[in-house]
Amino acid sequence: MEKLAVLKIDGTPSGKEITLDQNVFGIEPNDHAIYLDVVQYLANQRHGNSKTKDRSEVAHSTKKLGRQKGGGGARHGSLKANIFVGGGRVFGPVPRFYHNKLNKKVKKLARLSALTYKAQENAIIFVEPFVMDAPKTKEFLGIMSAIKAGDRKVLLVLPKNSDNIYLSSRNLPEVKVITVDEINTYEIMNANSLVLVDGVQDILSERA
């Protein structure tokens, strides 16, 4: 079983090594489960609030524009028709509910498959627990640089919420900080490197 060193926030080894749980980081990945979970996650992010007015909702007079026959053109009954400027839209978007459900076992399989892929790619970094006395983006960037997390799509997973760590990373578009309770397949697959604070792996093993 592969062992990974736990780093201090200055990038030096802490002396502790972690053996990856094969029930979490060493399963047989299921690509279809990952696909289903990612599609569900993205669908559930959609609000579906787009709305346009049709001819029954626009504010216009309902007076007939001209006589039915003999006008020399097409017959019209109202300025609300879609062919007139300010008329209603035909087949426009209406509020829609995009959410869908997925079996818990499938979601679990997808999450473990994603973690396995990150382990196979050697894209997992363990860092010892740390705290920040105040939100300081520069200090946070120094930590990420010291542990060589990379500068593109870093996912930092905390055992529990830390406001100062979250606020320190909020301005960084390539870094996302979440707790282990919020971890999901999409965030794992979307990240280039996965930084786990020591203790997260034990929680993941308990839930595997």
CATH number 3.40.1370.10 given to 3-46+100-207: yes
The yes-or-no verdict on residue 207 having pLDDT over 90 is: no
What kind and span of H or E run contains 176?
Answer: strand 175-179
Q: What's the confidence (pLDDT) of residue 187?
A: 96
Burial class of 55 by CB neighbour count within 10 A (0 to 12, 13 to 18, 19+):
middle
**pTM for this model (two decimals):** 0.81
Contacts (Cβ under 8 Å, ≥6 apart) of 148: 11, 125
Structure tokens at 137: 């983006």
User: In the predicted model, what is the mean pLDDT of residues 15-43?
Assistant: 94
* pLDDT tier for residue 69 given thresholds of 50, 70 and 90: very high
The yes-or-no verdict on residue 2 having pLDDT over 80 is: no
Structural domain boundaries in the chain: 3-46+100-207, 48-97
Answer yes or no: are the C-beta atoms of 89 and 52 closer than 8 Å. Answer: yes
User: In the predicted model, what is the mean pLDDT of residues 64-72?
Assistant: 90
Cα separation, 54 vs 2, in Å, equals 62
The yes-or-no verdict on residue 1 having pLDDT over 60 is: no
Cα separation, 57 vs 51, in Å, equals 11
Cα separation, 194 vs 126, in Å, equals 9
User: In the predicted model, what is the mean pLDDT of residues 8-31?
Assistant: 92
Answer yes or no: are the C-beta atoms of 160 and 179 closer than 8 Å. Answer: yes
CB atoms within 10 A of CB 189: 19
For residue 19, the SS3 value is strand
Read off φ and ψ for residue 56, nearest 5 degrees: -85, -10
Nearest to 120 by CA among 14, 11, 195, 22: 22
